[in-house]
Amino acid sequence: MSFTIQNALIPVESGYETADVQVADNCISAIAQNLAPTETAIDGKNKLLLPGFVNAHTHSSEMWQRGIIPPLPLELWIGELYDFTPLDPEQVYLSALGTAVETLLSGGTSVVDHLVLIPGQELETIAAAVRAYQEIGIRAFIGPLIQDESLTAGMPAGEGGIEHAAYIRSTNATLELMEAAIKQFHYPEKGVNILLAPTGIQLCSDALFEGCIDLGDRYNLCLHAHLLETPAQKQLAREKYGCSAVEHLQQIGYLSPRTSLAHCVWLDDSDIAIMAETQSTVVHNPLSNLRLGSGIAPILKYRKAGVNVSFGCDGAASNDSQDLLEAIKMGSILHNITDLDYRHWITPRQSVEMASLGGAKGLNLGDKMGSLTVGKKADLVLYDLTSLSLLPRTDPIGLLILGRPTNTVDSVWVNGKQIVAEGKVKTIDVDGLRRQLFDRSEWSSKRQSPMVGEIESHYRQVMKLPLGG
Ligand SMILES: [Zn+2]
């Protein structure tokens, strides 16, 4: 299969050029003016062609709870999330489709799904997400979310300490489950990749991290985790290891060019140096960090230190959307308030590079995707520059990143296959998906989370917040 996108606007060093982009065998085969047309010609006139972005951290099944969790910090928010988590693999399938649609229609061609597993139906959960991503055709990186400590272990113990229930599954059983998932679902050539993704230091033992490193080495897979999302986690790391979480992860060998870490809000300068030295990737989730009050990640410092940074939406229950362009905008301009020297601020073109090539690098695929380069995978997005939100005509990338683009994605290709055409997803029945999401849910505004009730006073105590009331 081959096709030519004709007369598209593409960014070049000096500004923009109008060019033809040819795709053959799933890859970009030529970029030049007036190329001889191949089998199919696509009209790229008045459209901007960019490499697809990576939604580099999300949890698809959180879609069922978007908009309902009250303003709470992560440690309490997660109690409510777990109390009402979907328990039917069919729901996982539908929310994976929903996550993919929103990602595709906001410029993404790859999604990293840190997938919450239904207890007792772990492989069925992964199968449901795989089915969704294969049907729609987005490039998927599924990191089954694993842990081996129970939820209360995620908070600092403080002086009084806190009792933890045993986790539902042993560390070894979890690692066996991951190996089964790899054997069953890891098919990069079909666009489905498995990542090893322990949830983070707050709920995982060293044995679990080390088992993941071992599996990653044996099957050549990438590693993923949350890292120092909240001030409570920073405090917990000190209690747990007597050093910073980053120092500890480096000591056990978890940090590498194949490792991407979500949030990275509470790292200090020596931690940042370790991130640079190990060539680990930071996944920036600005909207989630604001929504949960987690903090502002030191993104300008990462960039200055040479740390690769990409963007994620994070799960829809802490965002509460999957609009990648919104996350990119917020994650770019948010940092202007952290540094008076405007020469360090992120430019729209840098944002595009972080979202595309930065995302690819974080998945150890920087040489295979993430830029408009001959030989790279044809994961491409064509934006309609005649859309009202991108008018009047000024700098197309400036409009896309700094503006509020609505319905601007005209076409999307993943691995050379067209998924979106004329602004519509072509591979699945989106109206049918809307009906299913509607029918399987109901309007509600009040619900009571038993777990939040149980853990709130301990949280307030260790975080030195006023008790009572
Ligand atoms: Zn997350």
- Express each pLDDT in 60-111 by its tens digit: 999 999 999 999 999 999 999 999 999 999 999 999 999 999 999 999 999 9
The reported pLDDT for the residue numbered 37 is 80
d(CA 384, CA 368): 26
Using one digit for the tens of pLDDT, what is the confidence trace for 341-384? 999 999 999 999 999 999 999 999 999 999 999 999 999 999 99
**385 Cα: distance to centroid of ligand 1 (angstroms):** 33
Mean pLDDT computed over 196-202: 97
Do the Cβ atoms of 203 and 149 come closer than 8 Å?
yes
**387 Cα: distance to centroid of ligand 1 (angstroms):** 33
Using one digit for the tens of pLDDT, what is the confidence trace for 120-159? 999 999 999 999 999 999 999 999 999 999 888 888 888 7
Do the Cβ atoms of 222 and 164 come closer than 8 Å?
no
**390 Cα: distance to centroid of ligand 1 (angstroms):** 31
Helix (H) or strand (E) holding 459: helix 450-462
**312 Cα: distance to centroid of ligand 1 (angstroms):** 9
Tell me which DSSP letter residue 366 carries.
T
Strand partners, 58: 113
By the 10 Å C-beta count (0-12 exposed, 13-18 middle, 19+ buried), 65 is classed as: buried
The reported pLDDT for the residue numbered 199 is 98
**214 Cα: distance to centroid of ligand 1 (angstroms):** 23
Mean pLDDT computed over 195-208: 97
Give the confidence band of 163 by pLDDT, cuts at 50, 70, 90: confident
The reported pLDDT for the residue numbered 155 is 87
pLDDT, averaged across the chain: 96
pLDDT at residue 469 tops 70: no
Query: How many residues would you count in the chain?
Result: 469
Contacts 24+ apart (CB under 8 A), 457-462: 458/152, 458/155, 458/158, 458/160, 458/162, 459/73, 459/75, 459/76, 459/155, 459/232, 461/158, 461/160, 462/155, 462/156, 462/157, 462/158, 462/232, 462/235
**82 Cα: distance to centroid of ligand 1 (angstroms):** 13
Strand partners, 2: 24
Using one digit for the tens of pLDDT, what is the confidence trace for 108-123? 999 999 999 999 999 9
3-class SS at 55? strand
**396 Cα: distance to centroid of ligand 1 (angstroms):** 31
d(CA 71, CA 452): 12
